[in-house]
Structure 1
Amino acid sequence: MTTTTDTRQHSGTPTAGHVHEHSPRMAFAELVPDFYRAMLRLETAAAKDLDPTLHHLVKIRASQINRCAFCIDMHSKDALAEGETVERIVQLSAWEESRHFYTERELAALALTEAVTVLTDGFVPDAVYEEAARHFEETELARLLAGIIAINAWNRIGVTTRMVAGHYTPRTAS
C-alpha cells in the first residue's frame, strides 16, 4: 500500500511526513440545502437556554464516541474560544476516571450523553436518566436531551460524508 504525505500540519504550518488528508465524499449542505438549513434550526433550538459550557462538553463527548473528527475539531475549537480549558477537553474521553475536572451536573450530562449516544442495550438506563433528572429541571433536561440528539445527527452526517477535520475556524464574538 502506498501512502502519500501532506506537508500541512493541523495549524497550517508545513511539516513533512503527515499522511495525506482525505477528501469529503460529498458536499452534503449543497446537495440538500433544505435539510441542512433544518439541521441548523434544530441545532439552534437545541442550544436555546442550555448552558454553553455544558453544551460544548456534550457535543465533544458524543463526537468522540461517534468518532466524528470534524465535529471534535469544531466543538473543541469553539469551546476553547469561549474559555473552556484544554485540560477539561483532553480529559473528556476519560471523564469517568477524571471526575474531579467536572461538576456533578456536568458528570450527569456526560453520563446521559453516553447512554443516548450508545444504545447498544436498546435503552437509556433508569439510573442514568434519574441522575440527570436530579441535576436538571425538566425543561432544561429536555433541552439537554435535544442537544444530545442534535449532535448525534450532526455526527452521522460528518462521519458518513467524511467531513475533513482541521480547517474549522471558530467564530469570534463581535
Structure 2
Amino acid sequence: MSEVVRNPDAKEKEFQRILDESWWIFGGKYVEKTKRRSLTVLTQLDVPLIRADGVLHVVELKRACIPDLVVKHREFFVVGPEVNKAVGQTLNYLREFDEQRDVIKSRLGIECRRAFATVVIGHPEHVPDAAARAQVADTLRTYNAHLSRVEVITYADLIQGAQKALELTPSEPAPRRR
C-alpha cells in the first residue's frame, strides 16, 4: 500500500484493488464486505463494508496525490476542492441509500438507513507547501467536526491505523489456561 501511496500517478483503481482484499485495514468494527458494489442503479461503491450492527459503511477512495489537499484561506487552512467534491459525492450516495432503504433492505438484506461513510483522500507527502503539509491533520480534524455521517481521512491515517492494529496483535498465541 505504501508504495502505491508514494506514486503520484497512482489511480483510485489501484487503491481499490489493494483494499478489496484487505478491508480489515479499516478496523475491527467491520465484519464483512458486501458482495455487491452496486446497491442502486446510480452507485458503484469502492469498498462497501458491513458494521457489526449490520449497517452499511461506504468507503470512497480517491487519489493519494492531491497537491491542494488543504489550502490557505486568509489566516487559516481549509480543505481543498477535491475534498469537498469527494464528500459531496459520498453525501449523494448516502441520500440515495436513505431514499431507497426499503428496496435495498428487502432485495439485498443490507441495512442502509443509518449508513455512514469514510472518504480516503490524499497524503501529506504530496502537499508541496511545507506549511500546508504541517496543517493537514488539524485542517481535516476541523472539517470533520461539522460532518455527521462522513469522515475524511488521508492514506497516511489509514496506514498508521493499520500499523497500530498490527502492533497490538499478538504474534504468538496466548498460553492456554488450565
Short-chain TM bin: under 0.3
TM, length-normalised to structure 2: 0.23
Structure of greater relative contact order (alpha carbons < 8 Å, 6+ residues apart)? 1
TM, length-normalised to structure 1: 0.23
